Amino acid sequence: MRVAYCQGTSPPRINTTPHISFHPLLPMAWSPFLLLSLVSLAFSTPLNRRWDDFVEKHSWGATIPKGWQFHSSPSPDTLIDLRLGLKSARIDELFHHLGQTSDPDHERYGNHLSKEQVEELVAPHTDTVSMVEEWLAHHGYQGSAASPAGDWVTIRLPVKDAERMLNAEYGLYHHPASKDTVLRTLSYSLPRDLLGHVDVVSPTTYFGTFKSMRATSFLMPEVDLDPDAVPPTTCNTRITPDCLKTLYNTANYTQQATNRNSLGVAGYLNEFANRADLQTFLTRFVPARAGTTFTTVRVNGGGDDQNDPGVEANLDIQYTIGLSAPVPNTYYSTGGSPPFKPDSQTSTNTNEPYLDWLNFITSQSSIPLVFTTSYGDDEQTVPPDYANSVCNLFAQLGSRGSSVLFSSGDFGVGGGDCRTNDGQNRVQFQPAFPASCPFVTTVGGTTRTNPEVAVDFSGGGFSNYFGRPDYQSTAVTTFLNALGTTNNGLFNKTGRAYPDLAAQGTGFQVIIGGSTSSVGGTSASSPTVAGIIALLNDVRLSSGRSSLGFLNPLIYKNGGAFNDITSGSNPGCGTNGFTARTGWDPVTGLGTPDFAKLRLVV
């Protein structure tokens, strides 16, 4: 499956101080219900703040993001849901805890935080709450908490008020390739007094939607082979669960803690996992698990049309279940793009994919121990403030004991002309987001067997937003030293490097509408690794330990537990890209998983 794939800071260095304490903050003042005040006279502010003293937060300048075109101006009375991401008072403490609980050499390893502890750390300071309340009251509004911690706040208001509050000009923009139309602005600002209190506002300058990120299915031609051949004889061109179990050494493992285990697949608009197709798949390829099913959870109006099977949705759920059953699997169908109606009483498409799903997941009292997701954007198309806020939400999931995996993308070091959108129009490798977030585990692709080699579309590179985290410093420095001056000037040598791991990415046999299709892409690689991580969680859970949680510190300290991929490359941007080599590389990461070795180190 092809996927289209802040100015942030690198995660803090791990502090090994063992003593941990939590200091509860004062209760948040946000109303539990959405309130629209009909105050006609603005409240006076005690310090006579100048709410019209604006500082630009983010701007694309006069250039509309690539792939989008201006459609029309909205009615001034069009209602939108404005979402404010408030600065967390103790986010550095969250990073500190995550660093310790994910480090296998630390005494707190595996001692994940509870939902309530995470919420204490990400809650805004009372001064931030007061400041934002004051600003909203000045304009006649009161916010509604959009997250349990109060770090996200929602206000429903007319476009004309949002424009006044953000010194912005909204427009309706159309994406011809996906036929999606959204309400966005090319720039927005905040009052100077709010700087340091509000991290991001949406919808503003992030143009991504589920539709615009999704590319056409990466369907591969069928190859006429003996269907009765024993794996891995046919696995060079046709991947089945048996191929993957043989390649990655899971075939003889018997699970013991499935009642405490779980795996989640993040789906998106109009991609529905089909139950009948799953049964056909299991009957044909995993007969011992025939009858196994999954739960669908609808997020933000997501659908579940069983008459419209999705290629990617079926790929994901068939292979996570094919590898991890009987681990309970959940498919999250996230909606959020209502039909475009230029009606002043109808909210237009103000939804944004990561926030809709993440705000829902972080609010749940119980969440899956592994997540896999197969979509993304070019990093440069995501505003830095937005990318940083979303990345921090992934850190919350890791802190609670969940492993978050993302496909690395299907365009090597970059697709298209690879021109920068900073006004300089330079050719530069194009990293992907969220693949570049340091709090997720990113999975690249391989092909063939005996040996596996890097597949040429495997996304990989170096972030321009996020600095290199400590956990990969040694591995990446070793690669860069060996690379020398190759590709100089085309990538950020100090950025977070990805992918972290890899797995097969071509020839996956998927049942779609009752028929078998061959599907490829790193969208196949990520669910494959997710299924294996679920088995590793079973190893830990069955011995009374916790789930693995954030994986990266563990895997970079145990590179020998992976099958090192040393050939192949990921060309793009008019270059040969990077080449796989001994050790970590930005094509296949540390390599593909060897369950037999990994179960000894987890």
| Residues in a beta bridge with 171 | 184
Which amino acid, 210? Answer: F
How is residue 173 written in tokens?
């923009």
Q: What is residue 475's three-state secondary structure?
A: helix
Does the domain at 219-598 match CATH 3.40.50.200? Answer given as yes
C-beta separation of 443 from 407 below 8 A: yes
Enumerate residues 6+ apart whose C-beta is below 8 A from 215.
1, 2, 3, 4, 410
User: Which of the residues are catalytic?
Assistant: 312, 316, 523
Domain extents for the chain? 54-205, 219-598
What's the confidence (pLDDT) of residue 51?
A: 96
Residue carrying structure tokens 């923009």 = 173
Q: Which residues are annotated as a binding site for Ca(2+)?
A: 564-565, 583, 585
pTM above 0.85, yes or no: yes
- Digit-coded pLDDT (tens) for 439-474: 999 999 999 998 999 999 999 999 999 999 999 999
pLDDT in tens, 507-521: 999 999 999 999 999
- Which has the closest alpha carbon to 465: 493, 489, 496? 496
The predicted pLDDT at position 356 comes to: 79
User: What are the tokens at 540?
Assistant: 């830990």
What's the pLDDT tens digit per position in 25-69? 333 344 333 333 323 333 344 556 889 999 999 999 988 998 899
Cα separation, 115 vs 551, whole angstroms: 19
Q: Residue 383: what pLDDT?
A: 92
**Which residues, other chains included, contact 593 with Cβ-Cβ below 8 Å and sequence gap of 6+?**
248, 501, 503, 529, 532, 561, 562, 563
Q: Within the chain, which residues score under 70 in pLDDT?
A: 1-48, 209-232, 269, 336-353
Q: Helix axis angle, 115-122 relative to 91-101, nearest 10°?
A: 140
The per-residue pLDDT for 352 is 65
**Under 8 Å CB-to-CB from 239, ≥6 apart: which residues?**
504, 506, 507, 508, 509, 524
Rg of the chain on CA atoms, in Å: 24
Query: CA-to-CA distance for 456 and 445, rounded, in angstroms?
Result: 8
Q: Residues with Cβ < 8 Å from 138, sequence gap 6 or more?
A: 42, 43, 45, 49, 51
Strands (E) located in 160-231? 170-175, 180-185, 187-191, 198-202, 219-220
